[in-house]
Amino acid sequence: MSASWERHLPPGVSVGDLDLLAERCLPAAWVARWADDERRPVVGDGSRWVTAGELEDRSRSVAGRLHGAGLVAGDRIVMSAVSSVDLVVAHVAALRLGLVVLPMNGAYREREVGHIVRDARPAAAVVDDADRGRWVEAASEDRITVVAPDVALPDVPPPALDASTPDDGAMLCYTSGTTGAPKGALLTHGNVLASPAALRLAWRWDPDDRLVLALPLFHVHGLGVGLHGTLLAGASAVLQPRFNPDTVLDGAREHHATLFFGVPAMYERLARSPRAKELAALRLCVSGSAPLPADLHERLAETAGVRVLERYGLTETIMNASNPYEGDRRAGTVGFALPGVDIRLGEGDEILVRGPNVFAGYWEQPDATNAVFLDDGWFATGDIGSFDSDGYLSIVGRSKELIITGGYNVYPREVEDVLRGYPGVADVAVVGAPSDEWGEVVTAVIVADGALDTDALLEFAAGELAAFKRPRAVRFVDEIPRNALGKVLRNEL
């Protein structure tokens, strides 16, 4: 457990020196970094840069506008927009004011948006799409302030900022469950500070680093690691609204980047690019959100000259483990527990995690929270793991029915519930079919009641589900295999 922390620490830093929560909350730590060098570029979108001083001023101003709109510490605020400087300013402002940020995937459809809004009851929403704004308003039982990422509200002097404690709520990240209804994982200010503080040490993240950030800012990987880590390290990031191998490599070259974080599907496309060797100019390439195939790890080493560092995290815990920055980055493993994190295997070799990074619980769902925490405070991840003789952790399976496609989590039950609403679907089970590019693709296995138009079925699903949740393949069978208790035997499918 904690003995592995030493493998991540820079020379001169010992386990006894660790206090990941010493700076109390991320906003307070960020403000301290900005004061060190107000003219340092911090966040850019390819055409303009915001300096540390400008980010402090602009986020303070937006915090005042949100306060003037009636928002107070503890209120929830939806953030759902394409990555931009304005979105970063709005996110930082919300955390400085003590609001609980609710990142929402811009691909969600009205049904998905409505469930989250009714469950979380946000007081405001920052969106860049008119339809999404209308869906938020329609689902809100109380008055809600809906604004664009520039938060064009009247200027009002802000109250005291950056005053959150480690136990205060910081983010409410929705993740689907086996019941089919997404539930909110409440991350505290201590949680969102602990993980980037650990990564700052483990990955030697410093103010001279520049990250090409093509990951979306509604995902913990892009937001809780990429953006939060950049700001905590006093470093800088180049935002890209979407992933494209050429734009990533162009951005890395033009802005003298040192870091790139991606998911396996991104690395698959980069490995196929004739420009793959340009990755070797980066100090560090990190992969996460889904297992990186060992053969892809080796291909990147051979063709691009980079040993990608694979790590392991979850929505509920942000970051748990990482291959070492210095030492063997072992293909097929996620390395060792990060500083501050303890990892062990429980019953059935389920991976258990404990540390300041572990979330407070599921929003207003005590039963669901109790179901994933053991009596001694360990969080049961649902992932099955193993340690090799050198202590490297591997993720070898899942005890839950989760499908991971392109780095996004899909729970079969939610997709099945939607498909059952289509006429002619008598029974359905959804599974993940192996894919070299995506890890898994969502596949619907259907028992049809008579003739069924597959194209029409998929069009129906497109109106109800985010793109990454929609079935990419449909298979018809006479019967769904089930055990004596009626549980689907997904392994047979």
pLDDT at site 1: 44
Please compute the mean of the pLDDT values over residues 77-85 and round it to a whole number.
97
pLDDT at site 2: 46
Integer Cα distance of 253 and 250 in angstroms: 5
486 confidence band (pLDDT: 50, 70, 90): low
CA dihedral 304, 307, 308, 310 (to 10 degrees): 160
Pairwise pLDDT comparison (483 vs 295), residue with the higher score: 295
Tell me the pLDDT tens digit for each residue of 100-135. Answer: 999 999 989 999 999 999 999 999 999 999 999 999
Please compute the mean of the pLDDT values over residues 416-434 and round it to a whole number.
86
Least confidently predicted of 17-26, 201-210, 227-236, 240-249: 17-26
Is the model's pLDDT at 451 over the cut of 70?
yes
CA-closest candidate to residue 315, choices 387, 232, 242, 372: 372
Tell me the pLDDT tens digit for each residue of 258-290. Answer: 999 998 889 989 999 999 999 999 999 999 987
Q: Is 403-492 the same fold as 2-396?
A: no
Burial 83-115 (b: 16+ CB within 10 A, else e): bbbbbbbbbbbbbbbbbbbbbbbbbbbbebbbb
Angle at alpha carbon of residue 9, lines to 397 and 1, rounded to 5°: 45
pLDDT at site 407: 79
Q: Where are the domains of the chain?
A: 2-396, 403-492
Per-residue HEC secondary structure of 177-235 comes to CCCCCCEEEEEEHHHHHHHHHHHHHHCCCCCCCEEEECCCCCCHHHHHHHHHHHHHHCC
pLDDT at site 316: 96
Is the model's pLDDT at 404 over the cut of 90?
no
Write down the pTM of the prediction. 0.85
361 confidence band (pLDDT: 50, 70, 90): very high
Least confidently predicted of 61-70, 93-102, 398-407: 398-407
In three-state secondary structure terms, 139 is helix
Is the model's pLDDT at 484 over the cut of 70?
no
3 confidence band (pLDDT: 50, 70, 90): low
pLDDT at site 180: 59
pLDDT at site 402: 77
Asked whether 100 and 76 are in contact (CB, 8 A), the reply is yes
Tell me the pLDDT tens digit for each residue of 6-59. Answer: 889 888 887 777 899 999 999 999 999 999 999 999 999 877 899 999 999 999
**Class of the CATH-defined domain 403-492:** alpha beta
Is the model's pLDDT at 470 over the cut of 70?
yes
483 confidence band (pLDDT: 50, 70, 90): low
Pairwise pLDDT comparison (33 vs 479), residue with the higher score: 33
pLDDT at site 400: 67
CATH superfamily of 2-396: ANL, N-terminal domain (3.40.50.12780)
Tell me the residue type at 73.
Answer: A
% of the chain residues with pLDDT over 90: 72
Tell me the pLDDT tens digit for each residue of 299-336. Answer: 999 989 999 999 999 999 999 999 999 999 999 899 99
% of the chain residues with pLDDT over 70: 96
pLDDT at site 487: 60
Write down the mean pLDDT value for the chain: 91
CA-closest candidate to residue 64, choices 151, 164, 188, 169: 151
pLDDT at site 485: 43
Burial 319-339 (b: 16+ CB within 10 A, else e): bbbbbbbeeebbbbbbbbbbb
